[in-house]
Amino acid sequence: MREAEVSVTQTENELLKRLADIALDNDPIPTELYATYDVKRGLRNANGTGVLVGLTRIGDVVGYTIEDGKKVAVPGKLLYRGYDVADLIQDAESHGQFGYEQCVYLLLFGKLPTQAELDEFKLLLGSMRNLPQNFTEDMIMKAPSRDIMNKLARGVLASYSYDADPEDRSIQTILRQCLELVARFGTLVAYAYQAKRRFYDGKSMYIHNPAPDRSTAENLLRLIRSDKTYTPLEAKILDLALILHAEHGGGNNSSLTIHVVSSADTDTYSAVGAAVGSLKGRRHGGANIRVREMMDDIKANVKDWSNEGEIRAYLQKIARKEAFDRTGLIYGLGHAVYTVNDPRATILRERAEVLAKEKGLLEEFNLHRIIERVAPEVVYELHGDGKRICANVDFYSGFVYEMLNIPRELFTPVFAVSRIAGWSAHRIEEIVAGSRIYRPAYKNVGEPRAYIPIAGR
């Protein structure tokens, strides 16, 4: 870089720094004003429950009941169209089938398919897994990204240009668009990952064609691996993770985003692209990466992974903001709805143990079990507010993905490959049942000011 260019860059950075300081000083709002105006921050009531802003038939998240105006903790349940997700998983496993595709059918069409209907649906998805002609070269390879979620969002938006009628709002067209995205998300993610390996990591890139006769889980594993191989156990456990992440009610941030953006009467690709941006957030889909980073820190600082006392002492340091990232958060604990247990974590934990035995990682699995039991006690002892917290799905999902040799940069994209099912169902529900654009209120707490001409400033 030439000296003049360096000088310009330094001047630009200095200006941006000054402007950023002005922005920081200008925008803070006193915390007490939120109470004064009874603002539902984060669309949550004072007791932690969510503000009711819509109705849905798609999914339900059960973690408490309200009795005499108070939350009462109950064992967690996750329901898809009224069916317990645990039953969906048990049925698929008992028949030796991959269950994610049946889950997609149920979420979209509101009923369990017959075997003939399911076979027909799988054939349809299989026929849609390939990306449009020249899409890989023009939209993925020519503009790779360090972040796969960013690239996924761009891929979704770019799909608009390859759709013969992207603005058609008929349910048939929206359903076709959603099914194509469900079928192609794994391909988009895998190709974006391969481009990232080639252009940012300096590693070899492998572009395999998706197999139309294989499940979503099988395709994802074969597309991200150089040799396209995987074990039946690996594919079945990834399929399980996809089922567990496919839907989580209309109130989670990314599904709410689908409803909000769809209510503006925009196209499918804009709505889904916005949901991908939401899921990318570290407070949403990116949380399992923070769990793994925390676990790396714990494993490095706790010498005896079987010593509960040593583990407890280090968790106390984390909770007191003396260790790890100094936030005081023990990642993978707590949930907005679940109180006694997160049913997804319970199911995933059972399968994680099986996989850990196969991979020779039982010692690390047992470390997770001790932390899951001890950490809520540490949080209660420190804060003493009586709030019940439990391990959430992020506590085990990242561990499972690592045992499947899925790189961390793919953790959140794998979540998206699953959640596109729920997003699609919520988009169609909003189009069919919604009749008003979302328009909540914000209270302006700024003061009126007399305008000052530029010469007098």
- Annotated catalytic residues are 284, 335, 394
Q: Tell me the CB-side half-sphere exposure of residue 162, using CA atoms within 13 A.
A: 17
C-alpha 157, offset from chain centre: 19
List, as own/partner pairs, every contact residues 156-163 make where C-beta atoms lie below 8 angstroms and the sequence separation is at least 24, other chains included. 156/181, 156/188, 156/269, 156/272, 156/273, 156/276, 157/269, 157/270, 157/273, 159/132, 159/135, 159/184, 159/269, 160/267, 160/269, 160/270, 162/132, 162/135, 163/269
Q: Strand order in 83-84's β-sheet?
A: 59-67, 70-80, 83-84
| Residue 193, strand partner residues | none
Q: Tell me the CB-side half-sphere exposure of residue 194, using CA atoms within 13 A.
A: 24
Q: Which residues are CB-neighbours of 386 under 8 A, at least 6 positions away?
A: 380
Hey, CA dihedral for 242, 243, 248, 249, is it positive or negative?
A: positive
**Distances in whole angstroms, Cα of residue 18 to Cα of each of 24, 148, 202, 332:** 10, 32, 37, 37
Exposed/middle/buried for residue 184 (C-beta within 10 Å: 0-12, 13-18, 19+)? buried
Q: Which two tokens stand for residue 424?
A: 């699609």
Q: Are 180 and 210 in contact (CB under 8 A)?
A: no
